[in-house]
A = this chain, B = another copy of it.
Amino acid sequence: METYVLRPIGVVRSSLRDLENAPRQPDEGAPEAELAFDPEVAAALEGIEAGDIIELLTWLHQGSRDTLQTRPRGDAARRMTGVFATRSPDRPNPIGLHTVRVIEAGPGTLRVAGLEAIDGTPVIDIKIALGPQDVR
């Protein structure tokens, strides 16, 4: 099958430095982070404002692309499960999907709440999140 080239559009700047300290689920708490964008794509941020909920797509560069099955949350008591039935960072295309709230939108940057991604994680896409009352 044809392959495609992903070009990161920016990078995560966060106090999270490694996966061990990264929370596994949103309700375990994750720090605010800054998204710093490539100046070449900054125009694509126009219209994103504080308070918006966005779907942030990252490239989980530390994920293992050869892993097809895993135990959810590393729990040895659980049976092996296909990675597509989980949120594991280990998967053939290690894309991270994070629904986060924008705290501040600056020129070429966004500050977001509660992001479970380590410092240096490449950002590959952003989409406005659609709620029932928020179709645009």
Contacts and interface: CB of A to CB of B under 8 A. Distances in A.
B6 A87 contact: no
A27 B57 CA distance: 24
B81 A46 contact: yes
Main secondary structure of the interface of A (DSSP, over half): mixed
A13 to B, nearest CB: 14
Nearest to A65: B7
A124 B93 contact: yes
A55 to B, nearest CB: 6
A80 B44 CA distance: 10
A130 interface: yes
Residue from A6, A7, A84 whose CB has the most chain B CB atoms within 10 Å: A84
Contacts of A52: 85
A77 interface: no
A82 B107 CA distance: 13
21 contacts: A1-B8, A2-B122, A9-B93, A41-B68, A41-B92, A43-B68, A43-B69, A44-B82, A44-B91, A46-B81, A48-B82, A57-B57, A84-B126, A85-B128, A85-B136, A86-B128, A87-B130, A93-B124, A93-B125, A95-B95, A97-B127
